[in-house]
């Protein structure tokens, strides 16, 4: 059973940094692509980062890393701005099905 569990959200001041974690189970982690999305109130869910590509709005501020022992994908976020406030989700596709974590709220105060 595929399961993704995010952690690490919370409140941060403008210009601050935060690290989100996505622990994966039920997948062959070494060959599984896990990416990060976010959804702000009133907006559609948008792709933030994959292993090889980043949204223009976060490029040079966000970085994905992977821990193959812990089977965890991290999203390192820096220079956070109020417009980064959103619920962040990790995501994977297995056998044609989309799987999402429960989401973790990141709030950047101005």
Look at residues 1, 4, 2, 26 and name the one whose alpha carbon lies nearest to residue 72: 4
Cα–Cα dist 68/81, whole Å: 30
Q: How many helices (H) and strands (E) does the chain have?
A: 0, 10
Q: Is pLDDT above 90 for 4?
A: yes
| The pLDDT value given to residue 108 | 98
pLDDT (tens digit per residue) in 69-96: 999 999 999 999 999 999 999 999 999 9
Average pLDDT, the chain: 96
Write phi, then psi, for 100 (nearest 5 degrees). -130, 150
Encode burial over 10-41: b for 16+ CB neighbours within 10 A, e otherwise.
Answer: eebeeeeebebbbbbeebebeebebbbbbeee
pLDDT (tens digit per residue) in 14-33: 999 999 999 999 999 988 99
Percent of the chain with pLDDT over 90: 94
| The pLDDT value given to residue 5 | 96
Largest CA distance in the chain: 42
Q: Is pLDDT above 90 for 45?
A: yes
Percent of the chain with pLDDT over 70: 100
**Could you tell me the CA-to-CA distances from 4 to 15, 29, 63, 70 in Å, in that order?**
28, 11, 19, 13
DSSP state for residue 83 in the 8-state scheme? G
| The pLDDT value given to residue 51 | 87
| The pLDDT value given to residue 31 | 87
């Amino acid at each position: 059973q595929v399961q993704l569990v995010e952690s690490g959200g919370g409140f941060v001041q403008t210009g601050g940094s935060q690290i989100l974690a996505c622990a994966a189970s039920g997948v062959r982690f070494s060959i599984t692509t896990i990416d990060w999305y976010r959804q702000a109130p009133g907006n559609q869910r948008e792709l933030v980062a994959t292993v090889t590509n980043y949204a223009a709005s976060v490029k040079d501020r966000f970085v994905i890393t992977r821990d193959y022992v812990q089977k965890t994908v991290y999203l390192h976020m820096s220079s956070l701005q109020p417009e980064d406030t959103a619920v962040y989700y990790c995501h994977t596709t297995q056998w044609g099905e989309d799987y999402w974590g429960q989401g973790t709220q990141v709030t950047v105060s101005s």
